[in-house]
Amino acid sequence: MIGDRKLVFSGVQPSGNLTIGNYIGAIKNFKEFSDEYKCFYCVVDLHAITVRQVPADLRRRTYETLALYIACGLDPQKNTLFVQSQVPAHAELGWILDCYTMFGELSRMTQFKDKSAKNAQNINAGLFTYPSLMAADILLYQTDLVPVGIDQKQHLELTRDVANRFNQIYGDTFTIPEGYIAKDTMKIMSLADPTSKMSKSDENQNAVVYILDSKDDIMRKFRRAVTDSGSAVKYEEGKDGINNLMTIYHAFTGKSMSDIEREFEGRGYGDFKSAVGEVCADGLAPVRCEFDRIIKDKAYLESVMKAGAEEAASYARRTMSKVRRKIGFVN
Q: Is 198 in the site for ligand LTN (CB under 6 A)?
A: no
197 as an active site residue: the answer is: yes
CB of 278 to ligand LTN, least distance (A): 29
Q: Is 10 in the site for ligand LTN (CB under 6 A)?
A: yes
Cβ contacts of 70 within 8 Å, gap of 6 or more: 76, 81, 290, 294, 304
**Site for ligand LTN (CB under 6 A): which residue of 39, 71, 93, 138?**
138
Q: Is 175 in the site for ligand LTN (CB under 6 A)?
A: no
Q: Where are the alpha helices (DSSP H) in 171-239?
A: 215-223
Q: Which of 103, 139, 96, 146 is nearest to 325 (CA)?
A: 96
- Our CA angle for 62, 67, 71, nearest 5°, is 150
Name the residue nearer to ligand ATP (CB basis): 90 or 200: 200
CB of 15 to ligand LTN, least distance (A): 9
298 as an active site residue: the answer is: no
Residues in the chain: 331
What is the phi/psi pair of residue 2, to 5°? -120, 105
Q: Is 57 left (phi over 0), alpha (psi -120 to 50) or beta?
A: alpha
Count of residues near ligand LTN by CB under 6 A: 13
Rounded Cα distance, 327 and 2, in Å: 24
Pattern 123-162, ligand ATP, x by CB under 6 A: -------------------------xx-xx----------
The one segment of 8-16, 55-63, 293-301, 316-324 that binds ligand LTN by CB under 6 A: 8-16
- Positions 174 through 193 that interact with ligand ATP (CB under 6 A): 186-188
Rounded Cα distance, 271 and 44, in Å: 39
**Site for ligand ATP (CB under 6 A): which residue of 7, 8, 9, 16?**
16
Burial of 276 (0-12, 13-18, 19+ CB in 10 A): buried
Rounded Cα distance, 251 and 248, in Å: 5
Question: Which residue among 38, 200, 221, 239 is the active-site one?
Answer: 200
**Site for ligand LTN (CB under 6 A): which residue of 38, 47, 197, 273?**
47
- Positions 154 through 173 that interact with ligand LTN (CB under 6 A): 155
Residue nearest to ligand LTN (CB): 11
CB distance 256 to 249 below 8 Å? no
Q: Which amino acid is at 277?
A: G
CB of 8 to ligand ATP, least distance (A): 12
CB distance 112 to 106 below 8 Å? yes
31 as an active site residue: the answer is: no
Binding site for ligand ATP (CB under 6 A): 12-13, 15-16, 19, 21-22, 25-26, 148-149, 151-152, 186-188, 197-201
